[in-house]
Structure 1
């Protein structure tokens, strides 16, 4: 029988730290799979005799794979526990990473990136479900802050690592490396992660659609999920559009671009840790209420940069501010979305993750479309994402409590 766990508070330091590190391993695969090959876009395009827009489609396919895959794992992890679906996802990830390394053409790479994402997203769904299994809502916001730290470290190290590996070993070596990491992670999870799904609920796989619909009907869940997902989509617009803007328009080398990419990630790391400190003193909803207006101001500044076609520093400053503010917005939005769904944490995690990456996929396509008209497509889309996220949070406030301080 699976061991039953009580909610963990931040005061349980040893248990808190150990489990969070394991969860960080699970969340690392998606950002590594996205960020590590960004500096290789030009090399991949040359290898396949295509342009960077064709390579960008492999990133769009990855986002849509993350959208669909999370729905597949959501009910499964509530039905069968956390670890069995995780092993399936890691196996898919390893096999498809090897297939990406062997891809004979760009069409094959795009297809395999879609299925690679389906494997990678198991870690995202299950990590969030484990957080809801083990932590109180206030503590879970701190855990999400740490997971944001991992997602921030990946953009610092992964593009630099990817640039040097591409230069000395070729871009295909990148996929062999992540395949090896998948195997290593499977062994680590087997040895260290307990089954946290204690109480068994009556979850039926054939009723997955009904379960997801019940989650979506929760107005507060939808409010927080859309707010966090749309705000976070600005990050994915940055990931999709930054190689073209910084390498082709501003003529930065792939290595310098990687350093710039990492520098922007310092902001989200710092602010996510600031969020963890603030959560010791303030409710997560209060932090969100303060950070979203800041995001709106930064989004307007990014839009102005796009209108005037600002020089490099004119783009970098509002971009840094936007990415940094996500360290305050996203973890608190995710904690709010999952707070009322203990009995179906896996399904709620899947729905919020799928919404996030559906929006990311649409945003990635939007960047590709706008880039046909403007070199500043990334800035246009980031500006829109920030403003729409704030609008969702404001408009979807509970009508029965318009004056509630925390709403």
Structure 2
């Protein structure tokens, strides 16, 4: 009798191959999948070829410009995705039992915000958590986090996507700014309509540069806010707030800038706010968020980095006023739960939280409600909208690259 132990799972050698297929489905290409798996592109291709030989049907349709799942590939990815996700969550849970958080956190942030405020916080963070490594990618394009394998994004927005967990780091404000020299030379506008006669430095976007403003209603004078829209022109347009800020400092004109990019120059008196009673509308976001693709469990390394950034950025950047915070950092309408999430009494989407310690959570939304993904009363009740990972993969591949995901 052959005493050699026989495997009770003869397909076990194919598990890494199925995982590779799922990674291709999620990332959208062999190249990105290879990077996420830590393998060469040739090794990933070999795994897919071996898997296709083993199952006897094609799983991918390859062209010179795209990769798409076949119907068999969609079925295999959709039916195994939950198992691999559970394995990943279990590994994260076991890793979180370590005395110190550890692992790699891949993070993306806009160029100006990352250079001025996110990057400078990493030195103290890495000294505090020596077991954590960070990769910071600075880019102003809209990154698909799951598609490109990022754990975290810092974003300037007013509406975090519902498909992501969102931690509010701080409030933000858009400022209309000019240099003292420019205002002495050209005069100070008193109403948005006057901007049509000034040199303005618009953000580079398609179509004419249209700036919109809103003035709060004055008690006893009017019940509705006054609104104004004006088309502006100037010598320079750019898609980077630091470039526009430097042009404003040089006296080339006025510009709408996020407070985080110009706060230091305003505090130093090198820039002055214009039309402070008028609020720019529909331009930059009104808050800074940390975003993460929705998952039932957030690794301790990611939570630690979010909490570090929140503690550093929570005061905000507005040079004119301090951002209010709730008593003890908690917003009273929300209650703690044993899940470490904050929910209202009725089932609904929850706001995201970041842990101050392993067993203590703080609201990251200040006194505002921040909507996140479709998580309800239990972290395992996670639904995938639109037909599962394979369907999401094919929808992603159908989008224009210019959309940024």
TM-score norm. by structure 2 comes to: 0.26
Q: Which has the larger strand fraction?
A: 2
Higher relative contact order (CA 8 A, sep 6+): 1
In terms of Rg, which structure is larger? 2
> Normalized per residue, which structure has more helix?
1
Task: Give the alignment's TM-score, normalised by structure 1.
Answer: 0.26
